[in-house]
Amino acid sequence: MTFARITGTGSYLPERVLSNADLEKMVDTSDEWITTRTGIRERRIAANGETTGDLAFHAATRALEAAGVKASELDAIVLGTTTPDLIFPSTACLLQSRLGANGCMAFDVNAACCGFMYALGIADKFIRAGQTKKALVVGSETLSRMTDWTDRNTCVLFGDGAGAVVLEADKEPGVLTTLLHADGGYADLLYNPVGVSKGFKEDGRHGNTIMMEGNKVFRVAVRALERLVDETIAAANMHADNVDWLIPHQANLRIIRATAERLQLPMDRVVITVDKHGNTSSGSVPLALDELIRTGKVQRGQNLLLEAFGGGFTWSSAMIRY
Ligand code: ACO
């Protein structure tokens, strides 16, 4: 049997830091409100002209270096993003050319905050099927480009960033299971109202910005993630106490705590980056994974549970033996 193994990770954050104190000068909010409700203290913002593809390139270069894999060896690039550089070509194709991996399969996946997790699930299936030997999986976003900086309900939550992993075919696991879910019935609770086919200026009420009913999203997210971690443990034929690390989507510290409680996992086994990064959507899980691996805390053979929840709604997970 063939499994996909993570052989290298990388991440990249733009230089500019936007703190809660900075936001206090922009909208009617406070550091106290933001930290209490979300756990976020600061986030990174891409420079003018710095794109999702730029962030992806830096993260991907670091992941390839860590894996000791040349870009020319890649069979596949799968990139999760909701904020592509262009409508087409895909950001994955632009990245492929910049890395010098020309010729391999390359495509974007739009699953909002689950973009990286969906990309991971797809790449895993290609490797298991024997069609791909080395895949680059990326999550990269510049959400700041579609944030309404006058809306305190949303602008305090989001940031820019990217993460990447190299997956290689191996006889040893590897990715044990991935679960991908969606329910488009919740589209109205979290969305961006403009697009190619609907038009870029909807009805004059909305701009190209994130619309969210945060409180309703919060309640559905907590329930969906609780069910999802149970489902993931069962799919991997494990028990909750087999999980060594939780690498959750970094949207809100309260949601992360609820998921950790469901797993009865102490918080020192949960990777937290939301305080420094905010919600970087598709960038969030691979950024947190890279941070964990580069600290050297995770041991080979340990079990990592990755999960995410986002617009769609989408929710998704992976159990990985590192
Ligand atoms: N500063 C101060 N007050 C604020 C702010 C702010 N930045 N934002 C909202 N408020 C106020 C509201 O106006 C409201 O005031 P009111 O009671 O006078 O009406 C009050 O705070 C409470 O608002 P709630 O929305 O009920 O606050 P809640 O505790 O739910 O926290 C939050 C809001 C942080 C958005 C939370 O609901 C959340 O994290 N939701 C989930 C977000 C998420 O996970 N999104 C999924 C991924 S995103 C993606 O896919 C792109």
Answer whether residue 246 shows pLDDT above 70.
yes
Q: What is the 3-state secondary structure (H, E, C) of 151-183?
A: CHHHHCCECEEEEEEEEEEECCCCEEEEEEEEC
Mean per-residue pLDDT for 16-39?
A: 98
Strand 245-248's sheet: what is its strand order? 175-182, 314-321, 303-310, 245-248
* 279 DSSP assignment: B
Ligand 1 center–CA 197 separation, angstroms: 30
Question: If pLDDT is split at 50, 70 and 90, which confidence band does 206 have?
Answer: low
Amino acid at 266: P
Amino acid at 49: G
| pLDDT tens, residue by residue, 81-138 | 999 999 999 999 999 999 999 999 999 999 999 999 999 999 999 999 999 999 999 9
Answer whether residue 207 shows pLDDT above 90.
no
Ligand 1 center–CA 11 separation, angstroms: 28
Q: According to the model, what pLDDT value does residue 208 have?
A: 85
Nearby residues of 28 by Cβ (< 8 Å), 6 or more positions away: 152
Q: Which of 153, 192, 216, 228 to mutate to test the pocket of ligand 1 (most atoms within 8 A of CB)?
A: 153
Q: According to the model, what pLDDT value does residue 200 have?
A: 81
Higher pLDDT, 199 or 113: 113
Q: According to the model, what pLDDT value does residue 199 have?
A: 87
In the chain, domain spans? 3-172, 176-321
Please name which of 94, 206, 64 lies closest in space to residue 146, comparing C-alpha atoms.
Answer: 206
Architecture per CATH, 3-172: 3-Layer(aba) Sandwich (3.40)
CATH superfamily membership of 176-321 = Thiolase/Chalcone synthase (3.40.47.10)
Beta bridge partners of 315: 181, 309
Ligand 1 center–CA 278 separation, angstroms: 14
Q: In this structure, which residue's CA is closest to atom 49 in ligand 1?
A: 310
Ligand 1 center–CA 214 separation, angstroms: 5
- Whether 117 lines ligand 1, by a CB cut-off of 6 Å, is no
Q: In this structure, which residue's CA is closest to atom 32 in ligand 1?
A: 214
- Which residues are marked as active site? 113, 249, 279
Q: Which of 215, 222, 223 to mutate to test the pocket of ligand 1 (most atoms within 8 A of CB)?
A: 215
The CA-based dihedral angle spanning residues 19, 55, 267, 310, taken in that order and rounded to the nearest 10 degrees: 90
Ligand 1 center–CA 98 separation, angstroms: 39
Q: In this structure, which residue's CA is closest to atom 44 in ligand 1?
A: 251
Same fold, 3-172 and 176-321: yes
Q: Which atom, in ligand 1's list, is nearest to the CA of 113?
A: 50
Mean per-residue pLDDT for 11-40?
A: 98
